[in-house]
């Protein structure tokens, strides 16, 4: 097992676990109830941690949990609408100006 994520925010850790589990990566949350010891223990030791069950999944899990990275199969750059020419950011599936669908992603 290997730690791939830690935070003081319980919701963030469980969200990360749900992301991994929905992608077929087994994981476990540790130190979930250790926050009550934060005054007696060093704060860094009290962070809630997410560990993957298999070391081989660690690199893939860490890549998925980089929340600023685009998901697999997503556009890498902004795109220009073929109908009105407006530029939209990569996360949009339709033009914000005219509502035309984004061009299909190419493999």
pLDDT along the chain (107 residues), means of 10: 93 94 94 79 86 95 77 76 92 90 77
pLDDT of res. 16: 95
Domain range spanning residue 80? 74-107
pLDDT of res. 106: 60
Same domain, 59 and 96: no
This prediction has a pTM of 0.61
Count how many domains the chain has: 2
Q: Which residue has 């599936």 as its token pair?
A: 93
Token pair in block for residue 89: 């950011």
pLDDT of res. 41: 83
Angle CA 93–66–101, to nearest 5: 5
pLDDT of res. 73: 63
Same domain, 24 and 44: yes
* Structural domain includes residue 22: yes
């Amino acid at each position: 097992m290997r730690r791939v994520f830690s935070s003081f925010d319980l919701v963030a850790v469980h969200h990360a676990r749900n992301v991994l589990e929905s992608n077929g990566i087994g994981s476990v949350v540790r130190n979930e109830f250790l926050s009550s010891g934060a005054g007696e223990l060093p704060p860094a030791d009290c962070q809630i941690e997410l560990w993957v069950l298999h070391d081989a999944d660690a690199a893939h899990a860490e890549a998925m949990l980089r929340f600023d990275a685009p998901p697999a199969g997503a556009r890498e750059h902004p795109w220009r609408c073929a109908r009105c020419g407006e530029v939209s950011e990569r996360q949009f599936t339709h033009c914000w100006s005219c509502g035309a669908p984004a061009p299909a992603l190419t493999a």
